[in-house]
Amino acid sequence: MAEIRHFTLETDAETLAGAVKEDGAIIIDDVLSTDFIAALRSETDPYMEGSNLGSDDFAGFKTTRTGGLMVRSQKCRELIAHPNILAPCKLFLEPYCQTVQLHLTQIIRIGPSETAQLIHRDRWAWGSHLAHVEPQFNTIWAITDFTAENGATQVVPGSTRWPDDVTIAPEQITQAEMRAGSVLVYSGSVFHGGGENRSDADRIGINITYTLGWLRQEENQYLTCPPEIAKDLDQPLQELIGYSMGQYALGYYTPPGGPGEHPEIVPPQYALGHNIEGGMLGTSDELDALQKEIAG
């Protein structure tokens, strides 16, 4: 059985990105303090307690999933924008895109007696159409300890290049055991799944994932965080959830209004009150980057 490699917060971004590419999953230990976790739970527990249980085998009948964390929690926003995660994320995904974006935010609470989840790939959110690229850089932050008994995430290290229809043997599966405050970092191509909870307590993790700037997001950030709410976020967070061009000529819109009331074609930042610079379809830098990519 292959083991998941552990790293410290001081590990450089290149090493982390390389390890995720090689293994499919790693753990960074002891990133969050107990005080940070307590403050985060004070913000998010009311939403978690108000969340419904899953209704099928994949979602889990004893598991709750709580989204919209960008809007609901300042501490979750700090996780989303954590520099020690975003740096390797961008290195990992940049061969396939010009910008990265937030894909999903979700508190996953696996309750006692929950069965193990089907082993799967997160990139299957887009079906089997993206086998030729790596579309995701993902995290699960341990809010409680993750143990073999309470449902620590099952992972198949080294499985990123295996075919979609491969049969996973039990001896190929390990579990992401880690202390509260640590984070599992994994790719969209690695086989994994929630573990069986044989304990008498909840296992709580926060799933925050990132994807290529030109793909449809799993969690619809524009509905979860519409312009009237997004305008109050820091600009890097605004752009991370999608209020930015995915690349040149990708993501512009025409503002509603009377003739001549607004510019005809603008980037998403315009919806948040930002001044518009550059051409109608994006900046010259974005155009240059696209042309270089096409030219090879």
Task: Name the DSSP class of 96.
Answer: G
Are residues 46 and 158 located together in one domain of the fold? yes
294: pLDDT strictly greater than 90: no
Angstrom distances, CA of residue 227 to CA of 24, 258, 270: 35, 20, 10
- Does residue 286 form part of some domain? yes
279: pLDDT strictly greater than 70: no
Question: What's the CA gap between 89 and 66, in Å, rounded?
Answer: 23
Angstrom distances, CA of residue 132 to CA of 13, 81, 163, 168, 236: 24, 28, 11, 21, 29
Q: Which domain holds residue 60?
A: 5-212
75: pLDDT strictly greater than 80: yes
Count up the domains in the chain and report the number.
Answer: 2
Q: How confident is the model at residue 131 (pLDDT cuts 50, 70, 90)?
A: confident
Question: What's the CA gap between 191 and 3, in Å, rounded?
Answer: 14
The order of strands in the sheet holding 154-155 is 174-175, 154-155, 192-193
- Does residue 24 form part of some domain? yes
- Does residue 241 form part of some domain? no
Query: What CATH number is associated with residue 69?
Result: 2.60.120.620
- Per the structure block, which two tokens stand in for 206? 């926060």
Are residues 142 and 287 located together in one domain of the fold? no
Are residues 193 and 270 located together in one domain of the fold? no
Mean pLDDT of 74-96: 97
pLDDT of res. 5: 98
In a 10 Å sphere around its CB, with 0-12 CB exposed, 13-18 middle and 19+ buried, how is residue 23 labelled?
buried
- Does residue 220 form part of some domain? no
Are residues 130 and 262 located together in one domain of the fold? no
Angstrom distances, CA of residue 176 to CA of 145, 193, 257: 10, 10, 52
Question: What's the CA gap between 261 and 268, in Å, rounded?
Answer: 17
pLDDT of res. 278: 61
From 168, 196, 212, give the residue that closes a domain: 212
Task: Kindly report the number of other CB atoms within 10 A of residue 88's CB atom.
Answer: 24
Are residues 15 and 154 located together in one domain of the fold? yes
Pick from 163-177, 211-225, 242-256: least confident: 242-256
Are residues 187 and 270 located together in one domain of the fold? no
pLDDT in tens, 159-214: 999 999 999 999 999 999 999 999 999 999 999 999 999 999 999 999 999 999 99
Are residues 137 and 276 located together in one domain of the fold? no
From 166, 187, 212, give the residue that closes a domain: 212
Question: What's the CA gap between 87 and 84, in Å, rounded?
Answer: 6
Are residues 21 and 156 located together in one domain of the fold? yes
